[in-house]
Structure 1
Amino acid sequence: MLNDCITKERLPFEDQRRDLAQVAREMFTRKMTNVAGGNISVKLTPKENFSYDGYDYKAGKDYLIMTPTFMSEAWYANLSVSQILVIDLDTGEKIAGEGRVTREINMHEEAYKANSQIRVVYHSHAKNSMFWATIGQDMPNLTEVTSVNVPLGKIKCLPYREACTKELADLVHDELLKLGEKAKQNIFLLNSHGVLITDTDLHAATEVLETVEWNAEIAYKQAIFKKLGLIDGYKSCGKTTTGFLDD
């Protein structure tokens, strides 16, 4: 089985690849994505030169470690260390790992170009967030976690662009540029396609995803209560609010 194909020698970025594999599996089991897809990348910059399997890794150069295509469909996100790909960020070339690079790598690449502080790009088909994404609306920001503890500001839904296209990648790049410093920790809804998180840390990105998922369900239920006339507006932190916080 491919899950047993880990070489006895230490793999390049082995610890970080193991961590990414574990995060991908945990978030899949917590239903933060589905078998239709999802992908995660982490930008790594080695401090020293090293070589592995005939390839010379350069100090100060940016590489990605990334989940392979069909992470969810074929593997239910149960990935080995060696299935986490290593990619040259400058060229998009796979230089290590078992499996193929996802077609959505262009969206990841454009996100990293938008802000050098971004170290993680995380795309998923999170169920509750997909509700807001499929109706093409910004998500009301209501919970204390998303508005105070991890202040995400406006949870914006981007205009529809077809998945895996240059048009979607360019849109993500341009919208992140508009955010400036705030791009380093952000979540966008991708119209009819899920969510895209940018962050400086992999585990912080998973926190953003899970807290926004809770917020998505709460906002959905409050929207129903508003429509039924049971509340006079969205409720958050002891106040009535529009639910759409200023950037």
Structure 2
Amino acid sequence: MRNLGRMMFELEREDMAKVVKTIFDRFDTNVAGGNFSFKVTDKDGDYGDKDKEYIIMTPTMMSEAYLGDLSPAQILVVEPHTRKILDGVGNLTREINMHEAIYDTNPDIKSVFHSHAKEQLAWATMGVPIPNLTEATQKVKGVEPLPFKENCSEELAELVSKHIANIGDAALMHEYLLNSHGVLITVGGKDMSGMTAIHKAVSVVDTMEFNAHIAMEQTKLIKDGALDGYYSKGIKIGTLDDVFNKKIALFNHKSNSELETINQ
């Protein structure tokens, strides 16, 4: 181990502190919290064993106590499974169990992001999928709700890990709605860094906030009789019944070439 005269994973923790502030300032979470993490590898053995993985994670109370304004020193470096905090000032969130379960289920997932984004939380409390309508969010595809399980519980961690296992590589860019709790976003790729993954998760939660609002506005127009269904990229992709009764996670399945033909 080399003594580098600096904090463990200083650059990564500086970046995570900026992410937390951005999320809070943009109202992509609230003072009830949320928790973000990403994986990092000690490629040179600077802090112990060469190529050992660690989890860079936000501390508990990041929003309620600190209003999202954290220093890099407050971002935690966690040893997986032992849950030992190797560096960082603060306590570990009880939701570490869900983060670990996700990473264990699909090792290619590099970031786990959970927040209480307002517009998306409205759909999560109804227990119905968000119609994914905007061009900027199509990469996320279907956004489905999960049955209610108490936050921080082993039951929630188990439920999420089972769904992650079922969808395979789709979990490398995916969002779930945690019923009455918030959103869960997983991002990764075999060669993707954890820092890249957390930035992609930030993009997802922020653009999905706009999409969730637009979906609610379309829902109102459908209820008022002004629309006959949900529209995306110029075509109808489903109905109110699909979302609220059949609970189908709507998104535009058409390729760009198919859309060009349809819209001519």
TM over 0.5: yes
**Residue 23 (1) aligns with residue 19 (2):** yes
Q: Is the 8 A contact 1:42 1:121 kept in 2?
A: yes
- 1:4 match: none
- 1:244 match: 250
Q: Structure 1 residue 142: deviation in Å?
A: 0.7
Q: Structure 1 residue 50: deviation in Å?
A: 2.2
Q: Secondary structure at the match of 2:176?
A: strand
Q: Structure 1 residue 79: deviation in Å?
A: 0.6
**Residue 225 (1) aligns with residue 225 (2):** no
- 1:73 match: 64
In structure 1, runs of 5+ residues without a counterpart are 1-7, 52-56
CA distance in 2 between counterparts of 1:164 and 1:227 reads 36
Q: Secondary structure at the match of 1:198?
A: strand
CA distance in 2 between counterparts of 1:172 and 1:181 reads 15
TM-score (norm 1): 0.91
- 1:133 match: 124
Q: Is the 8 A contact 1:37 1:71 kept in 2?
A: yes
Q: Is the 8 A contact 1:133 1:189 kept in 2?
A: yes
Displaced runs of 4 or more, over 6 A? none
In structure 2, runs of 5+ residues without a counterpart are 189-196, 239-248, 254-264
Q: Is the 8 A contact 2:45 2:52 kept in 1?
A: no
TM-score (norm 2): 0.85
**Residue 110 (1) aligns with residue 101 (2):** yes
- 1:101 match: 92
CA distance in 2 between counterparts of 1:25 and 1:42 reads 16
CA distance in 2 between counterparts of 1:231 and 1:105 reads 43
Q: Is the 8 A contact 1:32 1:210 kept in 2?
A: yes
Amino acid at match of 2:130: M
CA RMSD between the two structures = 1.4
Amino acid at match of 2:150: E
Counterpart among 158, 161, 183 of residue 171 in structure 2: 183
CA distance in 2 between counterparts of 1:71 and 1:58 reads 30
Q: What is the aligned residue count?
A: 232
